[in-house]
Structure 1
Amino acid sequence: MKLPPGFRRKRENRVCKLHKSLYGLKQASRQWFLKLSGVLKAAGFNQSWSDYSLFVRHTQGRFTALLVYVDDVILAGNNLQDIMETKHFLASHFKLKDMGQLRYFLGIEVARSKQGIVLCQQKYALEVLEDAGFLGAKPSGFPIDQNLVLTQGEGVVLKDASQYRRLVGRLIYLTITRPNLVYAIHILSQFMDNPRQPHLDAAYKVLRYVKQTPGQGILLPSTGQLEIKVYCDADWVRCKDTRRSTTGYCIFLGNAPISWKTKKQGTVSRSSAEPKYRSMATTCCEITWLRSLLRDLNVKHAHAVKLFYDNQAAIHIASNPVFHERTKHIEIDCHVVREKVQRGLVKTMHIRTKEQPADLFTKLLGSKQFSALLSKLGVINIQYSNLRGSIEERNLI
């Protein structure tokens, strides 16, 4: 912004005083959220400590929740009159555009039935395929080959790395509703700085898998108990470049998948049990946050969270209060898990490796095992699945 000609005088410095927050300024987004949150608090909403973009209100058994992303808002509750009153209240302070019942939000499509709610990104997936020129490509049954090994130094360096970065960046957003893609895209995202031809070929393989199931998404069942179940796993020094292990977990509320993650660990593990215990510590932190969030949403979780693991050594370390030579260097992680176990917040349970859904987030699997575990995640294809079918057919533990 420049002052008009002739306004500035010699030896005089002037600045502009901002009377109103302008769109595009650094402080504009902060000022907007402060104003919006102030209006919502005046309407009786409480801001969640677990997620500052969530506002909730409890009034004599009636519950209303409001979720904000910049200037897009989702409003939900158990009383239609409260929802309408909230809309009118907000309309008296801001210019609103009521989009009606939620069907599309930030690229996520919402489909409803008596069985539950399906979240998918079919439109976005087709846009990604069209942008890469893969609408007519041959489909693939799984996202990445089981025996594929990608490293930093093998293969020809791509002349134009922006193509690879754009493709992987768009695929990352697709993992919001497709947890089965998380591990494959986690591998591809490690080569963003210097991508090579084998990395691009692997990314094209993921696109062919997306081509087969563009309408794939997650099912949030309308029935079931609101109890948290967690499946956690880790590999051991699978990365050929850094020899670091990978943490993976998926969390269910009843039969609905609500949180999943794949992340490379920060240090190299010296034993096969160590990365698994580190993954348990990371998962316990996520469980603590989810319990706090459910408390804000007026969902009581009185029972201990069941944490399923396929490694007996890690489970025994969680209940053993004595530190020995193999666990001294992971003492902090041990304290995190043991504290949750001793307080009754988490209960560790063993599960067979072949039945561990978290393997999808830590390992490259064959097509048969991949399909078997995928059915346990609540991932369905909205184009071909019968939403009236039984939810229990997925056989979750």
Structure 2
Amino acid sequence: MYVAALIYVDDVIMVGNNDAKIHDVKRHLNNRFSIKDLGPLKYFLGIEVARTNEGLVLSQQKYMFDILKDSGQHGCRPNPSPMEQNLHLDEAIDSPPVDVAQYRRLIGRLLYLQVTCPDIAFAVNMLSQFLANPCKRHMDSAIRVLRYLKSTPGQGILLPKDGDLSLKDFCDADWSGCSFTRCSRTCYLIFLGEALVPWRTKKQSVVSRSSAEAEYRTMATTVSEILWLCWLLHDHEAAPVGPTPLYCDNNAARQIANNPVFHECTKHVEMDCYFIRERVESNEIEPLYIDTKHQVADICIKALGAERFRFLLGKIGVRDLHAPS
């Protein structure tokens, strides 16, 4: 028997595998705090929950329409992808400035929209670098994200009702992806069964001297997140069995993780090497190679063409509630 409560201020979600026990907990809470039972979960902190034949779809349609309306883009022309392919934004000092407060407000709202939209994670991460001094070129790119959102109003993350509780992870790095700091970008997507649970796109804090180094730093960040998830699942009596596969499309990084001998070229990432190898030797992590064309983390690490972008959307469990069946 299992019952858990997710609490944020005065909003509470109750989950469990025994309806009678859930009702008992609700009754106890009501006696102590006088709660209001709103029935089956439909809306929580701006996140809409829809039940389908496949499972639950989490989306933010109302919040998305509010962003479009407040930005004056409610009637804009839709776009099939959030960012132009292979676009690399820089400080663009030759472009006219824009309203800083307006730009910051828009990017801040898009950051929260990422809760159910991993497909805009790369674009928002890129645009967030220019909050201090945005210009028209940056605002135009942000408007393109809104035009993409206009084309996918009911899109969200699918949490399948079938599947096991095993973890599998995909990580990737965009070596020297930042055009003006030359820092690489880290990205990972972690699946619990077939459900995409956490994902992240973030610029690394140091400059990597090779693509293998950038990928290896990404692997270390991903392993930290995997360990935290494993501990969380263990607390909920659902710990995964066996090593967690970690898919990386860089053979050099994978071989460093499996090689017990340090070389001259790896001294500057020695702590990461020890950290990952320790987890490999304890059979918690298993680094595996995956071909770049099957690397789903690409969707959060670079600006893709529309065809490749739509292909990867289906792979990470993004569904459009209004798409024809």
Report the equivalent of 1:126: 65
Q: How many angstroms does 1:159 deviate by?
A: 4.4
Q: In 2, Cα distance between the equivalents of 1:159 and 1:373?
A: 33
Contact 2:169 2:189 in 1 (8 A): yes
Question: Percent identity over the alignment?
Answer: 50
Q: Secondary structure at the match of 2:15?
A: strand
Report the equivalent of 2:8: 69
Q: When the two structures are aligned, how many residues end up with a matched partner?
A: 325
Report the equivalent of 1:331: 270
Report the equivalent of 2:192: 253
Report the equivalent of 2:23: 84
Q: Secondary structure at the match of 1:368?
A: helix
Q: Secondary structure at the match of 1:327?
A: helix
What does 1:140-289 align with in structure 2 at a 5 Å threshold?
A: 140-289=79-228
Q: Does 1:376 align with 2:315?
A: yes
What is the Cα-based RMSD across aligned positions, in Å? 1.1
Q: How many angstroms does 1:300 deviate by?
A: 2.7
Q: Secondary structure at the match of 2:265?
A: coil
Q: Which AA in structure 2 matches 1:102?
A: L
Q: How many angstroms does 1:373 deviate by?
A: 1.3
Decide which of 239, 250, 253 is 1:300's aligned counterpart: 239
Q: How many angstroms does 1:88 deviate by?
A: 1.0
Q: Secondary structure at the match of 2:315?
A: coil
Q: In 2, Cα distance between the equivalents of 1:245 and 1:173?
A: 23
Q: Secondary structure at the match of 1:92?
A: helix
Q: How many angstroms does 1:114 deviate by?
A: 3.4
TM-score by length of 2: 0.98
Q: Which AA in structure 1 matches 2:11?
A: D
Contact 1:157 1:194 in 2 (8 A): no
Q: Which AA in structure 2 matches 1:254?
A: G
Decide which of 255, 263, 271 is 1:316's aligned counterpart: 255
Gaps of 5+ in 2: none
Q: Secondary structure at the match of 1:193?
A: coil
Q: How many angstroms does 1:127 deviate by?
A: 0.7
Report the equivalent of 1:358: 297
Q: Secondary structure at the match of 1:326?
A: helix
Higher relative contact order (CA 8 A, sep 6+): 2
Report the equivalent of 1:9: none
Gaps of 5+ in 1: 1-61, 387-397
Which structure is larger by alpha-carbon Rg, 1 or 2?
1
Q: Which AA in structure 1 matches 2:321?
A: I
- CA 1:199–1:155 in structure 2 vs 1: closer, same or farther (change >3 Å)? farther
Q: In 2, Cα distance between the equivalents of 1:357 and 1:243?
A: 24
Q: In 2, Cα distance between the equivalents of 1:272 and 1:310?
A: 11
Higher helix proportion: 2
Q: How many angstroms does 1:153 deviate by?
A: 3.8
Q: Which AA in structure 1 matches 2:45?
A: L
Report the equivalent of 1:110: 49
Q: How many angstroms does 1:360 deviate by?
A: 1.1
Q: How many angstroms does 1:158 deviate by?
A: 2.5
Q: How many angstroms does 1:157 deviate by?
A: 4.5
